[in-house]
Amino acid sequence: MDSHLNNGLKVGLLASNPDLYSNKRIIEAARQRGHQIDFFNIKQCYMKLDAVCPEVHYRGGKVLKDLDAVITRIRPSLTFYGCALTRQFESMGVFTFNSSDAIAQSRDKLYSLQLMLKSGIDIPTTGFANSPIDTTDLIEMVGGAPLIVKLLEGTQGRGVVLAETRKASESVINAFKSLKANLLVQEFIKEADGKDLRCFVIDGKVVASIQRTAAPGEFRANIHQGGSASIVKITPEERRLAILAAKTLGLKVAGVDIIRSRNGPLLLEVNSSPGLEGIESATGKDIASMMVVSIEKKLGWRIR
């Protein structure tokens, strides 16, 4: 790509909030490395479906042209539209980081877990149901109480409940059932002691990892639930697991969450738009630049 040798790349950041730490850092890193980057608000983009000349337009009618790459940071509530836009950029020949297929797949948590198992990755013993269900059997299936109940649509730790006894388990499951929610029932990994690992993967390498520790009296390690982040040394097995999980979903960039059990590391979930704030501040690493460098490599771009 000779045309790129002397000029920066033309990059779009497809996201929702330009003031978010992660988005600010990505813009800053791209500019620092000599690229042109524009923020595109997902909701302000629209598209023309055309077999020969597909287009994406931006509020006011601006046609988005000559992009080399689009960095996709799609929030869960905008998965459908964000993936459609990403697909449109792909049909225009634009490199997307992550791709629409990978994002869509990773957003289906149940399907993702099924794919993980197929890849040989261990997860906590998990049951899944829609209502109406046999509550007693569902509880037994995952080894009885204490157990974890998760709403499939929950994020940031909301919708994740620890039921300590069989009675509590029945109440929680029945309550969720009456909401007609898809629910996941999972063995409680007590020995994790309110901690989990977040491994940041770029292009098949773990570039940083942190341990998140839940606030006192809390089992959820989410930062949004008062958890704190610290640096951690991960084992080779954990590293392999994180890399395989990202690969299984086809994610070029991923935040892989792992819980340490007495039988080794177990995969909790994989995030296709992992946040940068917690991991950059705990490790002091410039993850945003690593993401930009990954795009440069893919497109064969080099600094003069």
Ligand X SMILES: Nc1ncnc2c1ncn2[C@@H]1O[C@H](COP(=O)(O)OP(=O)(O)OP(=O)(O)O)[C@@H](O)[C@H]1O
Sites of contact with Mg ion (CB under 5 A): 269
Q: In the bound complex, what is the minimum distance in angstroms from residue 85's beta carbon to ligand X? A: 21
- 269 vs 296 by CB, closer to Mg ion: 269
Closest residue to ligand X, based on beta-carbon distance: 155
35 binds, among Mg ion, ligand X, none (CB under 5 to 8 A by kind): none
Q: Which is nearer to ligand X, 40 or 128 (CB)?
A: 128
Q: Which residue is nearest to Mg ion (CB)?
A: 269
Structure tokens at 21: 């730490």
Tell me how far apart the alpha carbons of residues 243 and 251 are, in angstroms, rounded to a whole number.
Answer: 10
Using CB distances below 5 to 8 A depending on partner kind, what does residue 221 bind out of ligand X, Mg ion, none?
ligand X
The structure tokens listed for 184 are 């996941």
The least distance separating Mg ion from the CB of residue 15, rounded to whole angstroms, comes to 17
Q: Which is nearer to Mg ion, 134 or 193 (CB)?
A: 193
Please name the residues in contact with 106: beta carbons below 8 A apart, sequence gap of 6 or more: 112, 249, 251, 254, 270, 271, 272
Q: Are 266 and 123 in contact (CB under 8 A)?
A: yes
For ligand X, the closer CB: 9 or 201: 201
Residue 204 CB, nearest distance to ligand X (Å)? 22
List, in order, residues 6 or more apart from 174 with CB less than 8 Å away. 135
Which tokens sit at 80? Answer: 């459908």
Going by the DSSP 8-state scheme, the letter that residue 5 receives in this structure is H
**Shortest spacing between CB 129 and ligand X, in angstroms:** 16
For residue 242, give the amino acid letter.
A
- Are 14 and 301 in contact by the 8 Å Cβ rule? The answer is no
User: Residue numbers of the site for ligand X (CB under 6 A)?
Assistant: 124, 148, 150, 154-157, 160, 186-189, 192, 196, 219-222, 257, 259, 268-269
